[in-house]
Amino acid sequence: GQDGSYLAELLLNKGYEVHGIIRRTSNFPTTRIDHIHKDLNLYYGDVTDSSCLSRMIRQILPDEIYNLAAQSHVKVSFQEPVYTSNSVSIGTLNILEIIRDIKEDLDKSIRFYQASSSEMFGKVYETPQKETTPFYPRSPYGVAKLYGHWITVNYRESYNIFGCSGILFNHESPRRGETFVTRKITRAATRIKLGLQNKLLLGNLDAKRDWGYAKDYVEAMWMMLQKETPEDYVISTGETHSVREFCELAFNELGLNYRDFVSIDPIYYRPSEVDLLLGDSHKAKTQLGWTPQTSFNDLIRIMIENDLQLAEKEKFYASR
Ligand code: G4F
């Protein structure tokens, strides 16, 4: 996924030997890593398949494991709750169990990063949200992430495993999947600009999110695993914006008014919504020295620039 590709680049730049798991699909799901493909060791696997996972991890004996595996789409989790729970919750447990066994059998410690999520704050108890804010998940995905979070804490406390959870707020980029709202907007706005599409259907425009740049966020994942003691950290920008605002800025960037093109389709509403997320990453700033480098406006610009090029290519091929 998006984060795996940025993290792989970061680790390769630091001189790591990088091993990654990809799921088998009927087409090639590797476009995000094609440019570094030759430098990676890739395996077909799945976190829900514990025997395959165990064989692989015992063979590699890595120093660090980053668990970014998930059915990560919140709306889809209402339609596929069991698969979401298996990949997000049991997948995490499967990895932790292998780390626990390897520690006992071979006296080898493996540092573990768990991709926790701001979705766990859900119907928020306080604003901004920080490490001590109580959780109130609002989707099968959020509930499953909560299990992954607490089982990581539990294995840290029970078996002295070096496990950290990064509670990451929304993070986007040109590599973001096209069904997440930011990328859906930048893809549509640029295609509309070039006459390839004439409208964009969205759900709740009033939802507010703390959106950062994925490339900045993978840096924080790595930093957590370099600390002397494992802890959990909120990673966020400290700014919140509505989906409507994102639309406005993205279309403005192209000289367009979103009101002329965006319509509401209730099909995109969720059975229960997370209305507002805003993170306080003071702990990450003071203890890890991590700060976000990319502003909201710059993030939108980066995504629009990338998607405009994609739309131009699309138009070129369509005209041949
Ligand atoms: O882009 P979204 O689908 O992201 P969401 O649900 O906040 O989840 C993302 O961030 C989490 C971190 O908090 C991750 F854990 C998770 O894996 C994922 O990466 O939706 C953002 C907001 C929602 O409130 C949604 O209702 O946008 C609203 N929205 C409005 N119209 C839409 C749409 N979302 C999508 N995907 N598609 C729409 O048409």
Ligand 1 binding pocket mutation candidate from 3, 73, 88, 170 (most atoms within 8 A of CB): 170
Q: Is 80 a catalytic residue?
A: no
Choosing from 6, 113, 141, 155, the catalytic residue is 141
Q: Is the CB of 117 under 6 A from ligand 1?
A: yes
pLDDT tens digits, 190-199: 999 999 999 9
Choosing from 5, 9, 89, 119, the catalytic residue is 119
Q: Is 117 a catalytic residue?
A: yes
pLDDT computed for residue 319 by the predictor:
84
pLDDT tens digits, 9-40: 999 999 999 999 999 888 888 899 999 999 99
Which two structure tokens, joined as six digits, stand for 18? 């990088």
Residue nearest to atom 37 of ligand 1 (CA): 181
pLDDT tens digits, 278-303: 999 999 999 999 999 999 999 999 99
CA distance 193 to 144: 39
Q: Is 245 a catalytic residue?
A: no
Closest atom of ligand 1 to 277 CA is 13
Q: Is the CB of 118 under 6 A from ligand 1?
A: yes
Q: Is the CB of 16 under 6 A from ligand 1?
A: no
Q: Is the CB of 299 under 6 A from ligand 1?
A: no
pLDDT computed for residue 227 by the predictor:
97
pLDDT computed for residue 179 by the predictor:
97
Closest atom of ligand 1 to 270 CA is 26
pLDDT computed for residue 25 by the predictor:
87
Choosing from 77, 117, 165, 236, the catalytic residue is 117
pLDDT computed for residue 113 by the predictor:
98
Q: Is the CB of 197 under 6 A from ligand 1?
A: no
Q: Which amino acid is at 41?
A: N
CA distance 166 to 211: 15
Residue nearest to atom 16 of ligand 1 (CA): 72
Measured between its terminal Cα atoms, the distance across the chain in Å is 32
Is the pLDDT at 180 greater than 90? The verdict is yes
Is the pLDDT at 273 greater than 90? The verdict is yes
Q: How high is the mean pLDDT of the chain? A: 97
Cβ atoms of 95 and 68 within 8 Å: the answer is no
pLDDT computed for residue 281 by the predictor:
98
Closest atom of ligand 1 to 243 CA is 27
pLDDT band at residue 130 using 50, 70 and 90 as cut-offs: very high
pLDDT computed for residue 204 by the predictor:
98
What are the C-alpha distances in Å from 33 to residues 145, 173, 294, 309? 26, 14, 22, 19
Q: Is the CB of 243 under 6 A from ligand 1?
A: yes
